[in-house]
Structure 1
Amino acid sequence: MSATRLRRPGVSPPAPIRKERTVRGPTRARGTRVRAARAAAVAISLVLVTAGCGGGSGEAAPTGDGRSSSATAAVDDGTTLTMWTRAGTEALSRAYVDAYNATHRNQVRLTGYPNEEYPAKLASAAGARALPDLFAADVVFAPQYAAEGLWQDLTDRLATTGLADRLAPGHVRAGTWEGRGYAVPHVIDLSVMFYDRKLFTRAGLDPDKPPVSLGEFAEAARAVGRLGGGVHGTYFGGNCGGCVEFTFWPSVWASGGTVLAPDGRSSTIASRQMADVFSLYRALYQEGVAAPASKDEAGPTWLAALKGGKVGIAPGPSAWLDLIEKAGVDVGVAAIPGLDGGESTFVGGDAVGIGATSAHAAQAWDFVAWTLSDAAQVEVVAKGKGVPVRTDLAVNAYSSADPRLVTINTIAAKGQTPYARNFNASFNDPQSPWLRAVRGALFGDAPAALAEGDAAITASLRQQ
């Protein structure tokens, strides 16, 4: 018997894990009822304080702090590894796995789960001490999973690669808890501004000169909206907290505003910048420039709207570039601007780590380390029009061949990744105070809704 624990010493019991909403990639759809997720969270809370039996394999079981006695080994010996991910980012995880399996003795078996079911699935597996060998998760949930001990400690292993200071810093921070690293960047997804070059031309706009301020964005949307014939100037996810944070917050940041305190325990949404951003989008909706479906868009049909060739300009996930282009849209890419200029992006995506109950840490690390290699980042990620997780590979043969990818990679350095342990409950959950604030700010009184939401979000962020 080993005293393997998921809860680390000194860490308070976890906040309830609720259902995840989709934002990035085709990633953020409406979450289902939170009751099942709360029940699963009860199971994880129980197991986090209970010692369990170690695995019976030849690999050393993880210790109480999540570190394996094999420390930094990477082993490729033909072991079959299990890996889980959310459906929204499964495509890139699948590309990693296929390339790894084709060149290694170890074989990774990947399973993707619907975004809205995934957090509860992880909680249930933790409660049963049956986490997969590897699992990826939305980067904004990484602080919670790291704090709760769902991943093994990768600090010493990562140090052997010499890559720690060349990885996406926001993702690295998200996977760090109390000075130790538990996850590394896996998928980078940025919020960008997409625009239909053909509709721009028809509206008398220069498709080679996208808007550089939110005011110019609004005027471009109005110009395209005047074309009529079912064409709308813009589109947004008005009933999706995750969609709005992913696409509106960059304008706040680019305008000098903030959303969270640095420690992730206080909201700062009741700002002039946030109110002005919401007021601009509210005006576009009231004028009929934004498609009517924007009001109730909860995520599932967001991508379809941008692929239809009937929307002039709208913010969305960079991972959609290839999907929109394959739908026949001549799509341009620009940075999301601030109210009067500047630019920023929400650096989202996934982090990946080794499951706390895995008996194959050395083999799992072999896969994780390989995903950070030049070969994986250039020939798998960049070749597929993705953003490398390594900052030193942002410029590569594939990105240089497509000016839009150059734009995306350049924007990445100007973005932010929010950090908060209770991010899901506070912002992405269907019952979150953020979504209530969003609805009020978009379709009511923005300053009042944001002031009320600010206090409620802060209270949620501080729940233990």
Structure 2
Amino acid sequence: MARYRARRVVAVTAAALLMTVAACGNDDKAAGGTVAASADDGATLTLWTRAATESVSKAYAEKYNATHKNQVEVTAYPNEEYPAKLASAAGAKSLPDLFASDVVFAAQYASQGLWVDLTDRFGALDVKDKVAPAHVKAGTWEGKNYAVPHTIDMSVMLYNKDLYAKAGLDPEKPPTTLKEFAEQARKIDKLGGDVNGTYFGGNCGGCVEFTFWPSVWAAGGGVLDAEGNNAKVDSKEMADVFALYRSLYDEGVAAPASKDEAGPTWLGALQGGKVGIAPGPSVWLGLIEEKGVKMGVAPIPGPDGGESTFVGGDAIGIGATSTKVAQAWDFLAWTMSDEAQIEVVAKNKGVPTRTDLAANKYSSADPRIVLINSLMAKGQTPYARNFNASFNDPQSPWLQTVRGALFGDAASSLSSGNTAITKSLQQS
């Protein structure tokens, strides 16, 4: 997932973006000025995505292509190269008809004019009020919709049922508070040997935001203001969450490797079957169980209760230089249909992008999947134009804040970090 190994997005010049927008418009006209044909007229549509989302994008395209005259051709690029590829295409006024991106970049791309305004089209959908609210907000800029959900990935608590049983814990009673999570992790850690109570990505800004922030939200705290211009990490809620994880590391309950985990080996640690409980991506459930580890799932709680999740994944919009806007929207609208969400997403154990489809004929067979799907309506997706540079980039002030709060000067790190993150968020 690119969230865990994000690279700095290559900036696109304002002049190039202005030319990009001017070259297209939002009136379903081709570059020559003729009105576009019907929405499903046999057009070939190009769709770009990052490698992390390639399988889902191709599954959508395959299903759509089988029942439509239009044909969608998917091209995937390595996660770390993808932002630069989009920047280059925007500068050359040659964006694909459709492109997806990590949802936390959506506000940035919308503000730069890389996507077509979808406000009227999205507003006309019968299911508009049932589409993942956090993703819809993330793809909105200055009151207009530019992107819709493409894939959903959420953070949850993943726990090893066999280790729970060995530690004398009830495998059917996961923690309902973060304090209870810590106590259960401590009991599992006492099994000794190579077993650890928990694990986290302590050298990965994206990992920490994805798994720690839900506990802050569950406690009623915030991370950013509504416009994404000011940080709010210097709060009691954030301090309490960091203090709990710091104590688990200091006590040796969290695996020692947590300190240097930058993302790449995070999943492997849980697949090894030696970690009791840890917050992580919901999509890891099946990947862990493929290794023979029996897993349970629970919402991520706040220190004293409540629950929330980071609604991650990818957003998708129509490239600002596309001459096939109507046809591209036909595909996007279809991806939000019952058919696509059930037969493409749910059938493959993904999270539907519609809140009303959490329970469906595929998920109903596994209560854990229903639980994961139901969390979408309770979660949040952070919104900021300069999110990557402020939080995900390896040189971001957020990662410096994380390192200080977990392993350094905890007393001052959140305060100084809040100032640095706010400055970064406000960079023009």
Q: What TM-score do the two structures reach when normalised by structure 1? A: 0.87
User: Of 4, 15, 29, which aligns to 2:4?
Assistant: 29
* Counterpart Cα distance in 2 of 1:186 and 1:119: 17
Counterpart position of 1:343: 307
Question: Which position in structure 1 is the counterpart of 2:155?
Answer: 191
Q: Give the counterpart letter for 1:47 in structure 2.
A: A
- Residue 119 of structure 1 and its aligned partner are, at CA, apart by 1.3
Kept in 2: contact 1:28–1:115 (CA 8 A): no
1:309 to 242, 248, 273: 273
Deviation at 1:54, TM superposition (A): 5.3
What is the alpha-carbon distance in structure 2 between the residues aligned to residue 70 and residue 293 of structure 1? 59
Matched, 1:370 2:334: yes
Residue 29 of structure 2 is aligned with which of 38, 56, 60?
60
Question: Is 1:381 aligned with 2:345?
Answer: yes
Q: Quick one: which of 49, 60, 69 aligns to 1:96?
A: 60
User: Partners in 2 of 1:70 and 1:202 — Cα distance?
Assistant: 68
Question: Is it true that 1:222 corresponds to 2:181 in the alignment?
Answer: no
Other-structure match for 1:8? none
> Secondary structure in 1 aligned to 2:95?
coil
* Contact 2:21 2:113 (C-alpha < 8 Å) held by counterparts: no
The residue that corresponds to 2:91 in the other structure is 127
Structure 2 gaps of 5+ residues are none
Residue 228 of structure 1 and its aligned partner are, at CA, apart by: 2.5
> Deviation per CA, 1:32-84, whole angstroms, max 9, x where unpaired?
5x4xx54xx2x5434124479958xxx72379xxxx9869x862222222111
Q: Would the aligned equivalents of 1:191 and 1:347 in 2 still touch at CA under 8 Å?
A: yes
Counterpart CA distance in 1 for 2:297 and 2:286 is 12
Displacement of 1:93: 1.8
**How far, CA to CA, are the matches of 1:75 and 1:311 in structure 2?**
51
Pick closer, same or farther for the CA change 1:229–1:187 going to 2, 3 Å.
same
Give 1:281's aligned residue.
245
* 1:234 matched residue in structure 2: 198
State which of 12, 16, 28 in structure 2 corresponds to 1:47: 16
One-letter code of the match for 2:248? L
What value does the CA root-mean-square deviation take over the aligned residues? 2.1
Note if contact 2:2-2:80 (Cα within 8 Å) is conserved in structure 1. Answer: no
Offset of residue 163 of structure 1: 2.1
Whole-angstrom distance in 2 between the partners of 1:208 and 1:70: 59
Q: Identity over the aligned pairs, expressed in percent? A: 68
Q: Which residue does the alignment assign to 1:431?
A: 395
In structure 1, what is the equivalent of residue 261 of structure 2? 297
Q: Deviations over 1:68-123 (max 9, x none)?
A: 9869x862222222111122222222221221122222221212222222211111
The one-letter code sitting in structure 2 at the alignment partner of 1:418 is P
> How do 1:115-194 residues align onto structure 2 when only pairs under 5 Å count?
115-194=79-158
Q: Distance in 2 between matches of 1:114 and 1:376?
A: 26
Q: 1:74 to 1:454 in 2, by over 3 A?
A: farther
SS at match of 1:28: helix
Aligned to 1:18: none
Change (3 A) 1:164 1:31: closer
**Within 2, Cα distance between the matches of 1:274 and 1:397?**
39
Conserved? CA contact 1:275–1:447, under 8 Å: no
Deviation at 1:208, TM superposition (A): 0.1
* Contact 1:74–1:365 (Cα < 8 Å) also in 2: no
Deviation of residue 278 (structure 1)? 0.8
Matches within 5 A, 1:396-415: 396-415=360-379
Asked if the contact 2:355/2:374 (under 8 Å) is kept, the reply is: no
Deviation at 1:233, TM superposition (A): 1.1
Do the aligned partners of 1:427 and 1:434 also contact (CA within 8 Å) in 2? Answer: yes
Shift of 1:276: 1.4
CA distance in 1, matches of 2:226, 2:20: 34
* Secondary structure of 1:397 counterpart: coil
Deviations 1:132-175 (A, max 9, x none): 11111111111111111101111222233222211111111111
| Partner of residue 205 from structure 1, selected from 166, 169, 183 | 169
Query: What secondary structure is seen at the aligned counterpart in 2 of 1:48?
Result: helix
80-89 or 266-275: which moved more? 80-89
User: Any gaps of 5 or more consecutive residues in structure 1?
Assistant: 1-25
Q: Is the 8 A contact 1:270 1:447 kept in 2?
A: no
Q: For the Cα contact (< 8 Å) 1:28–1:88, is it kept in 2?
A: no
Contact 1:139/1:349 (8 A) holds in 2:
yes
Query: Closer, same or farther in 2 for the Cα pair 1:69/1:282, shift >3 Å?
Result: farther
Aligned to 1:82: 46
- The AA in structure 1 aligned to 2:29 is A
Distance 1:251 1:267, change over 3 A: same
Correspondences of 1:316-355 after superposition (within 5 Å): 316-355=280-319
Residues 53 and 250 of structure 1: is their aligned pair in 2 closer, same or farther, counting only changes over 3 Å?
closer
Asked if 2 retains the 8 angstrom alpha-carbon contact of 1:239 and 1:298, the reply is yes
SS at match of 1:342: strand
Q: TM-score, normalised by structure 2?
A: 0.94
Partner of 1:22: none
Q: What letter matches 1:393 in structure 2?
A: L
CA distance in structure 1 between the partners assigned to 2:352 and 2:22 by the alignment: 39
Change in Cα spacing, 1:84 to 1:227, as seen in structure 2 (3 Å) is same
